[in-house]
Structure 1
Amino acid sequence: MVLNRTYGEQGTNGQLSYQGQHICYTIELPDRNNIRRLSCIPESNYRLQKRVYTKHGEQIGIPNVLHREAILIHPANNAMKELMGCIAPVTTLTGQGTGTNSRAALAKLKALVYGLWQRGDEVFLLIKRAED
Protein backbone atom coordinates (compact mmCIF):
# COMPACT_ATOMS: atom_id res chain seq x y z
CA MET A 1 0.00 0.00 0.00
CA VAL A 2 1.13 3.55 -0.65
CA LEU A 3 0.25 6.58 1.48
CA ASN A 4 0.87 9.86 -0.35
CA ARG A 5 0.93 12.71 2.16
CA THR A 6 0.49 16.47 2.08
CA TYR A 7 1.64 18.43 5.11
CA GLY A 8 -0.06 21.37 6.80
CA GLU A 9 0.25 23.40 9.99
CA GLN A 10 -2.95 21.89 11.43
CA GLY A 11 -2.47 18.32 10.23
CA THR A 12 -1.20 15.88 7.66
CA ASN A 13 -3.57 14.54 5.01
CA GLY A 14 -3.01 11.51 2.85
CA GLN A 15 -4.41 9.35 0.13
CA LEU A 16 -4.03 5.60 0.64
CA SER A 17 -3.97 3.27 -2.35
CA TYR A 18 -3.34 -0.39 -3.08
CA GLN A 19 -2.11 -1.47 -6.51
CA GLY A 20 -3.02 1.97 -7.83
CA GLN A 21 -6.61 1.83 -6.53
CA HIS A 22 -7.87 4.40 -4.01
CA ILE A 23 -8.78 2.87 -0.64
CA CYS A 24 -9.40 5.92 1.55
CA TYR A 25 -7.96 9.20 2.75
CA THR A 26 -5.98 9.53 5.97
CA ILE A 27 -5.42 12.17 8.63
CA GLU A 28 -2.50 12.56 11.02
CA LEU A 29 -0.88 15.12 13.26
CA PRO A 30 1.33 17.77 11.63
CA ASP A 31 4.97 16.92 10.92
CA ARG A 32 6.87 17.96 14.03
CA ASN A 33 10.14 16.07 13.51
CA ASN A 34 8.81 12.78 14.94
CA ILE A 35 8.14 14.21 18.41
CA ARG A 36 6.29 11.51 20.33
CA ARG A 37 2.52 12.10 20.66
CA LEU A 38 2.77 15.42 18.76
CA SER A 39 3.91 14.44 15.26
CA CYS A 40 3.02 12.16 12.38
CA ILE A 41 5.45 9.27 11.92
CA PRO A 42 8.42 9.58 9.54
CA GLU A 43 8.17 8.70 5.87
CA SER A 44 9.39 5.13 5.38
CA ASN A 45 8.28 1.63 4.39
CA TYR A 46 6.63 -0.23 7.29
CA ARG A 47 5.49 -3.87 7.58
CA LEU A 48 2.01 -3.86 9.11
CA GLN A 49 1.06 -6.28 11.90
CA LYS A 50 -2.14 -7.23 13.69
CA ARG A 51 -2.15 -5.72 17.21
CA VAL A 52 -4.60 -5.92 20.11
CA TYR A 53 -4.88 -2.93 22.43
CA THR A 54 -7.20 -2.34 25.37
CA LYS A 55 -8.49 1.01 24.09
CA HIS A 56 -8.96 0.14 20.41
CA GLY A 57 -9.29 -3.67 20.37
CA GLU A 58 -7.79 -5.51 17.41
CA GLN A 59 -6.18 -3.03 15.02
CA ILE A 60 -3.59 -2.69 12.30
CA GLY A 61 -0.29 -1.87 13.97
CA ILE A 62 2.74 -0.10 12.53
CA PRO A 63 5.74 -1.53 14.42
CA ASN A 64 9.36 -0.45 14.22
CA VAL A 65 8.71 3.28 13.95
CA LEU A 66 11.91 5.06 14.97
CA HIS A 67 11.68 6.29 18.61
CA ARG A 68 7.95 5.45 18.76
CA GLU A 69 5.77 2.62 20.02
CA ALA A 70 2.12 1.54 19.83
CA ILE A 71 1.46 3.26 16.50
CA LEU A 72 -1.89 2.13 15.09
CA ILE A 73 -4.29 2.74 12.26
CA HIS A 74 -7.53 3.51 14.12
CA PRO A 75 -10.65 5.66 13.72
CA ALA A 76 -10.58 9.42 14.30
CA ASN A 77 -12.09 12.40 12.49
CA ASN A 78 -9.91 15.14 14.00
CA ALA A 79 -6.16 14.52 14.29
CA MET A 80 -5.41 17.31 16.77
CA LYS A 81 -8.17 16.18 19.17
CA GLU A 82 -8.10 12.38 18.73
CA LEU A 83 -4.62 11.24 17.64
CA MET A 84 -1.28 10.98 19.40
CA GLY A 85 0.88 9.93 16.47
CA CYS A 86 -1.31 7.26 14.89
CA ILE A 87 -2.94 7.27 11.45
CA ALA A 88 -6.72 7.54 10.98
CA PRO A 89 -8.46 6.52 7.76
CA VAL A 90 -11.33 8.79 6.67
CA THR A 91 -13.86 8.68 3.85
CA THR A 92 -13.58 12.37 2.97
CA LEU A 93 -11.15 15.13 3.89
CA THR A 94 -12.70 18.27 5.37
CA GLY A 95 -9.54 20.24 6.24
CA GLN A 96 -5.97 19.81 7.46
CA GLY A 97 -6.04 16.80 9.75
CA THR A 98 -9.82 16.45 9.64
CA GLY A 99 -12.22 14.15 7.84
CA THR A 100 -15.48 12.22 8.05
CA ASN A 101 -16.75 8.65 8.41
CA SER A 102 -13.53 7.26 9.85
CA ARG A 103 -15.10 4.01 11.05
CA ALA A 104 -16.42 3.21 7.56
CA ALA A 105 -13.01 3.94 6.02
CA LEU A 106 -11.31 1.75 8.64
CA ALA A 107 -13.72 -1.13 7.92
CA LYS A 108 -12.85 -0.93 4.22
CA LEU A 109 -9.12 -0.84 4.96
CA LYS A 110 -9.32 -3.71 7.47
CA ALA A 111 -11.23 -5.89 4.97
CA LEU A 112 -8.38 -5.44 2.49
CA VAL A 113 -5.49 -5.88 4.93
CA TYR A 114 -7.01 -8.80 6.85
CA GLY A 115 -7.84 -10.52 3.55
CA LEU A 116 -4.21 -10.24 2.48
CA TRP A 117 -3.03 -11.57 5.84
CA GLN A 118 -5.45 -14.50 5.59
CA ARG A 119 -3.83 -15.41 2.26
CA GLY A 120 -0.49 -15.46 4.03
CA ASP A 121 0.77 -12.23 2.46
CA GLU A 122 2.89 -9.66 4.26
CA VAL A 123 1.48 -6.15 3.99
CA PHE A 124 3.71 -3.09 3.73
CA LEU A 125 2.83 0.58 3.98
CA LEU A 126 5.05 2.96 2.03
CA ILE A 127 4.62 6.51 3.36
CA LYS A 128 5.90 9.31 1.15
CA ARG A 129 5.32 12.96 0.27
CA ALA A 130 2.69 13.43 -2.42
CA GLU A 131 4.11 14.55 -5.74
CA ASP A 132 2.94 17.98 -6.85
Structure 2
Amino acid sequence: MQLFLSRTYFKGGTNGKIFFDGKLVCESIELPWRNNKRNVSCIPEGRYRLIKRHHTKHGLQLALSIVPNREGILIHPANFALRELQGCIAPVTKCIGEGEGNYSRIALERLEDLVYPVLEKGEEVFLLITSVKSSS
Protein backbone atom coordinates (compact mmCIF):
# COMPACT_ATOMS: atom_id res chain seq x y z
CA MET A 1 0.00 0.00 0.00
CA GLN A 2 1.25 3.47 -0.78
CA LEU A 3 -0.10 6.78 0.48
CA PHE A 4 0.83 10.05 -1.18
CA LEU A 5 1.49 13.29 0.72
CA SER A 6 1.53 16.32 -1.55
CA ARG A 7 2.99 19.34 0.25
CA THR A 8 2.93 23.11 -0.17
CA TYR A 9 5.61 25.04 1.73
CA PHE A 10 4.95 28.32 3.50
CA LYS A 11 6.99 30.45 5.90
CA GLY A 12 4.63 29.64 8.78
CA GLY A 13 4.37 25.90 8.11
CA THR A 14 3.92 23.17 5.56
CA ASN A 15 0.44 22.14 4.45
CA GLY A 16 -0.36 18.93 2.67
CA LYS A 17 -2.94 16.50 1.41
CA ILE A 18 -2.72 12.76 1.97
CA PHE A 19 -4.18 10.55 -0.77
CA PHE A 20 -4.74 6.84 -1.18
CA ASP A 21 -5.82 5.34 -4.47
CA GLY A 22 -6.50 8.81 -5.88
CA LYS A 23 -8.85 9.77 -3.04
CA LEU A 24 -8.21 12.38 -0.35
CA VAL A 25 -7.85 10.73 3.06
CA CYS A 26 -7.10 13.91 5.03
CA GLU A 27 -4.97 17.04 4.97
CA SER A 28 -1.79 17.55 7.01
CA ILE A 29 0.35 20.17 8.71
CA GLU A 30 4.06 20.20 9.45
CA LEU A 31 6.78 22.62 10.42
CA PRO A 32 8.28 24.81 7.68
CA TRP A 33 11.22 23.46 5.66
CA ARG A 34 14.38 24.42 7.57
CA ASN A 35 16.99 22.16 5.93
CA ASN A 36 15.94 19.05 7.87
CA LYS A 37 17.13 20.49 11.20
CA ARG A 38 15.91 18.39 14.12
CA ASN A 39 12.88 19.68 16.02
CA VAL A 40 12.38 22.76 13.78
CA SER A 41 11.95 21.40 10.24
CA CYS A 42 9.68 19.08 8.36
CA ILE A 43 11.43 15.99 7.01
CA PRO A 44 12.81 15.76 3.46
CA GLU A 45 10.64 14.66 0.58
CA GLY A 46 10.99 10.97 -0.17
CA ARG A 47 9.44 7.54 0.32
CA TYR A 48 9.13 6.28 3.88
CA ARG A 49 7.85 3.04 5.34
CA LEU A 50 5.17 3.43 8.01
CA ILE A 51 5.45 1.24 11.08
CA LYS A 52 3.51 0.74 14.31
CA ARG A 53 5.25 1.92 17.44
CA HIS A 54 4.10 1.45 21.01
CA HIS A 55 4.76 4.35 23.39
CA THR A 56 4.28 3.78 27.13
CA LYS A 57 2.47 7.11 27.58
CA HIS A 58 0.70 7.58 24.21
CA GLY A 59 -0.05 3.95 23.24
CA LEU A 60 0.02 2.74 19.66
CA GLN A 61 1.37 5.26 17.15
CA LEU A 62 2.31 5.45 13.48
CA ALA A 63 5.97 6.23 12.85
CA LEU A 64 8.12 6.80 9.78
CA SER A 65 11.03 4.41 9.40
CA ILE A 66 14.54 5.47 8.38
CA VAL A 67 14.24 9.24 7.96
CA PRO A 68 17.65 10.73 6.96
CA ASN A 69 19.43 12.28 9.97
CA ARG A 70 16.25 12.07 12.08
CA GLU A 71 14.55 9.67 14.46
CA GLY A 72 11.23 9.42 16.23
CA ILE A 73 9.21 10.95 13.39
CA LEU A 74 5.57 10.20 14.15
CA ILE A 75 2.16 10.84 12.68
CA HIS A 76 0.19 12.28 15.58
CA PRO A 77 -2.55 14.83 16.30
CA ALA A 78 -1.79 18.56 16.37
CA ASN A 79 -3.60 21.64 15.11
CA PHE A 80 -0.75 24.19 15.23
CA ALA A 81 2.58 23.07 13.75
CA LEU A 82 4.79 25.75 15.31
CA ARG A 83 3.43 25.10 18.81
CA GLU A 84 2.78 21.36 18.78
CA LEU A 85 5.20 19.67 16.38
CA GLN A 86 8.93 18.93 16.47
CA GLY A 87 9.35 17.46 13.00
CA CYS A 88 6.40 15.08 12.97
CA ILE A 89 3.39 15.04 10.64
CA ALA A 90 -0.08 15.90 11.93
CA PRO A 91 -3.13 14.81 9.96
CA VAL A 92 -5.91 17.40 10.02
CA THR A 93 -9.43 17.45 8.65
CA LYS A 94 -8.82 20.81 6.96
CA CYS A 95 -5.87 23.23 6.70
CA ILE A 96 -7.02 26.66 7.89
CA GLY A 97 -3.72 28.56 7.69
CA GLU A 98 0.02 28.06 7.25
CA GLY A 99 0.83 25.05 9.42
CA GLU A 100 -2.61 25.20 11.02
CA GLY A 101 -5.53 22.81 10.77
CA ASN A 102 -8.57 21.57 12.61
CA TYR A 103 -10.03 18.32 13.94
CA SER A 104 -6.67 16.54 13.94
CA ARG A 105 -7.76 13.58 16.06
CA ILE A 106 -10.62 12.81 13.66
CA ALA A 107 -8.22 12.92 10.69
CA LEU A 108 -5.73 10.68 12.52
CA GLU A 109 -8.45 8.11 13.23
CA ARG A 110 -9.39 8.09 9.53
CA LEU A 111 -5.74 7.48 8.58
CA GLU A 112 -5.25 4.79 11.24
CA ASP A 113 -8.44 3.01 10.13
CA LEU A 114 -6.91 2.76 6.67
CA VAL A 115 -3.33 1.85 7.63
CA TYR A 116 -3.51 -0.38 10.73
CA PRO A 117 -5.48 -3.24 9.11
CA VAL A 118 -2.86 -3.44 6.33
CA LEU A 119 0.02 -3.45 8.82
CA GLU A 120 -1.76 -6.08 10.95
CA LYS A 121 -1.89 -8.37 7.89
CA GLY A 122 1.91 -8.12 7.73
CA GLU A 123 1.89 -5.98 4.60
CA GLU A 124 4.02 -2.87 4.13
CA VAL A 125 2.68 0.67 3.94
CA PHE A 126 4.67 3.51 2.41
CA LEU A 127 4.23 7.28 2.42
CA LEU A 128 5.56 9.10 -0.64
CA ILE A 129 6.14 12.78 0.13
CA THR A 130 6.34 15.21 -2.78
CA SER A 131 5.63 18.92 -3.23
CA VAL A 132 3.18 20.90 -5.26
CA LYS A 133 4.89 23.31 -7.61
CA SER A 134 3.74 26.81 -6.75
CA SER A 135 2.43 28.99 -9.56
CA SER A 136 3.54 32.21 -7.82
Alignment TM-score, normalising by the size of structure 1: 0.96
Against the structure 1 CA distance between its residues 55 and 29, is the aligned structure 2 distance closer, same or farther, given a 3 Å change threshold?
A: farther
Q: How many angstroms apart in 2 are the aligned matches of 1:68 and 1:56?
A: 20
- Structure holding more strand per residue: 2
1:118 is matched with which residue? 120
Q: How many angstroms apart in 2 are the aligned matches of 1:88 and 1:26?
A: 5
Superposition deviation, residue 56 in structure 1: 2.8
Equivalent pair of 2:7/2:132 in contact (CA under 8 Å) = yes
Equivalent pair of 1:4/1:16 in contact (CA under 8 Å) = yes
Q: How many angstroms apart in 1 are the aligned matches of 2:98 and 2:73?
A: 20
Superposition deviation, residue 21 in structure 1: 0.8
**What's the secondary structure of 2:65's corresponding residue?**
coil
Task: Give the alignment partner of residue 28 of structure 1, picking from 22, 27, 30.
Answer: 30
1:15 is matched with which residue? 17
**5+ residue gaps, structure 1:** none
1:106 is matched with which residue? 108
Equivalent pair of 2:51/2:119 in contact (CA under 8 Å) = no
**5+ residue gaps, structure 2:** none
Alignment TM-score, normalising by the size of structure 2: 0.93
Count of residue pairs the alignment pairs up: 132
Superposition deviation, residue 57 in structure 1: 2.0
| Residue identity in the other structure for 2:71 | E
Q: Identity rate of aligned residues, in percent?
A: 54
Q: How many angstroms apart in 1 are the aligned matches of 2:53 and 2:125?
A: 14
Per-residue CA deviation, residues 3-60 of structure 1 (Å, 9 max, x unaligned), is: 0000000000000000111000000000000000000000000011001123432110
